[in-house]
Chains A and B, each alone.
Chain A
Amino acid sequence: MASALINVPAKAKRGDIIEIKTLMSHIMETGYRHMASGEVVPRDIITSFTCRFNGSEIFRADLFPAIAANPFITFFTTATESGKFEFEWIGDQGFSEAASASITVE
C-alpha cells in the first residue's frame, strides 16, 4: 500500500536549487483528545523526518503534535550529482516508513 507521495524532479542541472516535496499518510493523533468516557486518546505522531542523499543527511525535521495529519514537508537542496534520495519517517508506537527517489544531474 502506498503511504507516501514524493515530488523530486527527475532531472536537474548541476548547481540548480531544487524543491523536494513529501506527503506521508499518518493520523498524527495529538494526545490531547478525549474519548466520550473521558480517557485520553494516546498520542501517535511522527516525531522525526530525515532525508539522505547518497547516504549523507541533507535535511531533518523534529515534529510535534501541532503538525497536521498526513504531514506535508517541503525543503530545498542543491543538485550536485546524480543519485538517490532516501526518506525516513519515524514515530510513536514503532512507526517507521521509508521511501526513495532518484535524480539525474547533468
Chain B
Amino acid sequence: MRFAGAIAVALLIAGFAFAAEIPQADRRSGYDFMKPDTKAMQDEDTANPGMLWVLDGEGFWKRKAGTANKACADCHDDARTSMRGVAAHYPAFDKATGRPIDLEQRINSCRINQQQATPLPFESRQLLALTAFIARQSQGAAIETGADPQLAPFIEKGRELYVQRQGQLNLGCTNCHDDNWDKRLAGSAITQGHPTGYPLYRLEWQSLGSLQRRLRACISGIRAQPYDYGAPELVELELYLMSRARGMPMEAPAVRP
C-alpha cells in the first residue's frame, strides 16, 4: 500500500514539474515546420520581405532625432559591430526599472533618455525597422536570454503565464506548443513557439510584426483578452519564451505563415 502510495505521489510530482517541456534535443525552430516555398522566401535576402524593414532600419539608425539631435550611430557607431549578438540577449534586465525590458522598450528608452525624443509607437514602421535592423545583427548567434540570475523571478512569472489556462477556449500556450507541436491546426503547423526569428514577416499580416503582436494574436485566438502592448505580462512571456529557446540560433527577420 505504502509502495503504491509512493508511486502515486512520484507520478503526481512528475506531472507538475515540467513534464510537458520539450526535451532540449527535440527543439526545432518554426522554420522547420514551414513548407519549402516559405523557407525559400526566408532564405534569400532579396526575396525576404522582412529585409525591406532591415534596410529601412539601417537608414533610421543614422538619422538624427530629438532635441539632443543625435542618431543611434552617434553613440553606437556601426551597428554591425556594436549590435552584434545584442538581440540574442533580449529581453534583458534593466537596472533603472528593476524589471526585464525587451528590445523595443530598450530602443524607446534610448530615444527618451539619450536622444530626448518622443518614444516610437508599438508596431510603428520606424520601431519595427530599428528592431529588425538590430535583430538582424544577431543572425546565427545562439540565444542567451535569461542567463542573468536577476531575471529568474521574472522567467518564472513568464512560465506561469505560459502554462495557465485562459479564455473561452480554456487553453494555455503549453497545451498546443508543448503537447501538440507535431500536429496541425486548421491546415497550419503547430510549432514549438520558439521566437528565434522575431521581428518577423508574417504572411497573414503581409507585414513585419513584433513578438508582442504575435502573442496578442494567439491570446485573441484562444478567445482571451490580450494584454496591452508593453504590458509586463507580455515582456515576461517574451522573456520566458526566449530563455526556453536558449542555445537556438537567431534567424531574424524570419518568414512565417
Contacts and interface: CB of A to CB of B under 8 A. Distances in A.
Chains A and B touch each other in the complex, with CB atoms below 8 Å apart: yes
Contact of A2 (B52, B206, B207): B52
A78 interface: no
B200 interface: no
Interface string B41-53: 0001111010110
Nearest to A26: B52
B126 to A, nearest CB: 10
A2 B47 contact: no
Contacts of B140: none
Give chain A's interface residue range (CB within 8 Å of chain B): 10 to 19
A77 interface: no
B238 to A, nearest CB: 26
Contacts of B46: 5-7, 21, 23
Interface stretch (A10-18, A39-47, A66-74, A86-94): A66-74
A1 interface: yes
A1 B56 CA distance: 6
B52 A70 contact: yes
Nearest to A6: B46
Nearest to B55: A2
Contact of A21 (B47, B49, B59, B206): B47
Interface string B25-62: 00000000000000000001111010110011011000
A25 interface: yes
Interface string B69-85: 00000000000000000
Given A21-B46, A23-B46, A5 B51 contact: yes
A29 to B, nearest CB: 10
Contacts of B49: 23, 25, 69-70, 72
B207 A69 contact: yes
B54 to A, nearest CB: 9
B39 to A, nearest CB: 15
Contacts of A23: 46-47, 49, 51-52
B128 to A, nearest CB: 12
Contacts of A25: 49, 52, 56
Contact of A5 (B55, B58, B206, B207): B55
B45 A2 contact: no
Contacts of B44: 7, 21
A90 to B, nearest CB: 19
Given A5-B52, A25-B56, 10 more contacts: A1-B56, A1-B59, A2-B56, A3-B52, A5-B45, A7-B47, A21-B47, A23-B47, A25-B52, A72-B47
11 contacts: A1-B55, A2-B55, A2-B58, A5-B45, A5-B46, A7-B46, A21-B46, A23-B47, A23-B52, A25-B49, A69-B206
Interface of B: 44-47, 49, 51-52, 55-56, 58-59, 206-207
Interface of A: 1-3, 5-7, 21, 23, 25, 27-28, 68-70, 72
